[in-house]
């Protein structure tokens, strides 16, 4: 409760500062966005014209599909790198190299491969989210406590059974970190790709900029930020508390 009040007070202060800056700049330019104007554009776009509602659902659909694909591909790659030294020394080097390449630079190639369709944006999202998931899964697999491995082998586990019943469950905290990073990188990649692609919040933001509607630009930025906060506080944070408690890394609050 106290944390919620602190956050509320903080955002009220931020909005008050924003209003003060707006009143200062409004005397010299009409382009500077205002808090009230941004809220009005937010309401109009979501409930009146529906422009922001349609764009939001399109972006959420893309990030949902891309995130699930990244979890699947990144998880499988991470398991492979974690259990195979040969794969880690070869494919692992490629993954590290690709992780250093911003996913948005793949968009020109993706637009050619997918002929400018929505698949190009989805491709960029998957690339942006897969590598963090892969590397964290790999780290979790390699950092399994030796005592667990010895105990499992003593109980007769070996091969794939050892991987699925011991190594992967022990790597769950790292998997959670990988999923959180995959979401963050995927969400950013999606917004960047939509800026120069088609549809979604990113494209709508660029259209608003082209029409010099800065209030609408800020309202879209608010939606992007709120989605990030909701996913973090109502999904990842709750899962994290349960996982850390279950794995004995902290006490549940």
Digit-coded pLDDT (tens) for 36-66: 999 999 999 999 999 999 999 999 999 999 9
CA dihedral 211, 212, 218, 219 (to 10 degrees): -40
Digit-coded pLDDT (tens) for 87-100: 999 999 999 999 99
Digit-coded pLDDT (tens) for 162-204: 888 889 998 999 999 999 999 999 999 999 999 888 889 999 9
Considering the entire predicted model, what is its pTM? 0.89
Q: What does the alpha-carbon distance between residue 218 and residue 208 come to, in Å, rounded to a whole number?
A: 10
Q: Can you name the CATH fold of 51-246?
A: MetI-like fold (1.10.3720)
Ramachandran angles phi, psi of 251, nearest 5°: -100, 140
Annotated domain spans of the chain = 51-246
Q: Which residues, 6 or more positions from 224, have their beta carbon under 8 angstroms from its beta carbon?
A: 187, 191, 201
């Amino acid at each position: 409760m106290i944390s919620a009040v602190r956050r509320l007070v903080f955002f009220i202060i931020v909005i008050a500062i924003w209003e003060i800056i707006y009143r200062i700049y409004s005397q010299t330019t009409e382009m500077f966005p205002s808090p009230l104007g941004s809220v009005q554009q937010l309401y109009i776009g979501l409930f009146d014209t529906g422009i922001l509602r349609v764009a939001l659902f399109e972006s959420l659909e893309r990030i949902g599909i891309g995130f699930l694909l990244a979890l699947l591909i990144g998880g499988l790659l991470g398991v492979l790198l974690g259990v195979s030294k040969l794969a880690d020394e070869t494919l692992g080097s490629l993954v590290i190299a690709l992780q250093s390449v911003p996913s948005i630079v793949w968009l020109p190639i993706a637009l050619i491969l997918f002929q400018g369709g929505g698949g190009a944006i989805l491709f960029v999202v998957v690339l942006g989210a897969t590598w963090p998931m892969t590397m964290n899964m790999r780290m979790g697999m390699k950092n399994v406590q030796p005592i667990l491995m010895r105990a499992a082998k003593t109980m007769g586990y070996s091969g794939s059974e050892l991987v699925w019943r011991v190594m992967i469950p022990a790597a769950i905290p790292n998997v959670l970190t990988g999923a959180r990073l995959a979401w963050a990188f995927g969400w950013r990649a999606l917004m960047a790709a939509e800026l120069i692609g088609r549809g979604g919040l990113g494209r709508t933001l660029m259209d608003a900029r082209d029409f010099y509607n800065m209030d609408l630009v800020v309202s879209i930025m608010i939606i992007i930020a709120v989605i990030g906060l909701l996913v973090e506080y109502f999904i990842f944070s709750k899962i994290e508390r349960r996982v850390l408690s279950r794995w004995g890394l902290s006490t549940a609050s």
